[in-house]
Structure 1
Amino acid sequence: MTGDPHISLLASITWLSDLDPPPEPAVADWLLERGSMTRRFERHCQRVSIRRGREGYFPAQALGEDEVALLPPCERYWLREIILCGDDRPWLAGRTLMPENAMDGAEWALTTLGDMPLGRWLFRDRAPERDFIQLGRTAGLWARRSCLRPNGKPLLLTELFLPDAPLYC
């Protein structure tokens, strides 16, 4: 699934430093969600599932410079790309990056999530710290990225809301 057109859109996001014009309040409510997006999606469908794309360790040089700059330096990063679906319709393209040297203890579970949405693991006990939410746009779609800190360790999460997502309803 590496060639999924939704996942390839993640590379074309323009990250916004100021919002002119800002998103409508209903859209901003979705984009600034601090809890689990998986749980929020579950309120709008019968079943949330994922389709997996690329997953594994990648050298820093193979990743976007702007992404790597938001995380502590490391030679390799865990990368996971997915499409999150609501009732089998693609709602969100997601990309997770975590430095390999931060993946000890509970974080090792990221490598074994399989078909489990990341939100179910991240928000299993309590919400992790979130350093920021940065908004972006591509192809008329909204995106956001955040640095979350499960157990105090950095994880960069990029989310692109696809055309069928409830965000646009």
Structure 2
Amino acid sequence: MTEFKSLYLSALRLAQWKHPDKSVFENTEKGAWLLEHGSMTERLKHHCKELSVTVLGISQCERDDLTEAEKALLNDEACVVRDVVLAGDGVPWVCARTLMPLSTLTDQEQDIAELGSVPLGQRVFTHATARRDAIEVTSLTIENQQLDARRSRLWLNEKPMLVSEIFLRDAPIYNVEGALDGTH
């Protein structure tokens, strides 16, 4: 799991996010994945018998460690950081990093930082107030492979979280439009 921390999570932190060009993604299977406004957990579950979560780490990030873009999307405050890998039938599909402002983790939402192997989407999207916005995308080159990634803000009871996800090479996002050809 050290590989995920050094390669994928580092890439997510350094990614150059951009607003998606709807004309490029609209009406494509890849676009349906990247622009998903609902639960990515549910979308992934449709492609496997068992979706599992491995927690790579939970830490605290001081507000000075956030980028200006992260501060703009969240409250300008310290966050709990949850790094995970989601795997379908034991195959790693998504490496994700979630920033949860401390003010988000109050009242009914205080358990979110302690989900363990429960997927975040499973917890968030069971609530009527859950929504996703501010979707941004990028393509990252890691070990000579182009991998798609997205960042979005989740809201639960009007409290924000920022989720960055990189779709690993065996993720179903790449299988929907044909076989992998080495770059996709």
TM-score (norm 2): 0.82
Change (3 A) 1:164 1:69: same
- 2:86 pairs with 1:84: yes
Change (3 A) 1:69 1:54: farther
CA distance in 1, matches of 2:99, 2:159: 11
Confirm or deny: 8 A CA contact 1:7 1:82 kept in the other structure.
no
Q: Please point out which of 164, 167, 170 is paired with 1:164.
A: 170
Q: What SS class does the counterpart of residue 16 from structure 1 fall into?
A: coil
User: How large is the Cα RMSD of the aligned pairs?
Assistant: 2.1
Q: Please point out which of 10, 33, 36 is paired with 2:36.
A: 33
Partner of 1:94: 96
- 2:54 pairs with 1:51: yes
4+ long deviations beyond 6 Å: none
Deviations for 1:12-52, whole angstroms, at most 9, x for unmatched residues? Answer: 32212454993481100111111111111111011101111
Partner of 2:179: none
Partner of 2:76: 73
CA distance in 1, matches of 2:82, 2:20: 28
Percent identical residues = 36
Q: Tell me the CA shift for residue 126 of structure 1.
A: 3.1
TM-score (norm 1): 0.89
Structure 2 residue ranges without an equivalent (≥5): 176-184
Partner of 2:112: 110
Confirm or deny: 8 A CA contact 2:127 2:156 kept in the other structure.
no
Partner of 1:153: 159
Q: Tell me the CA shift for residue 161 of structure 1.
A: 0.9
Letter in 2 for 1:37: M
Structure 1 residue ranges without an equivalent (≥5): none
Letter in 1 for 2:61: F
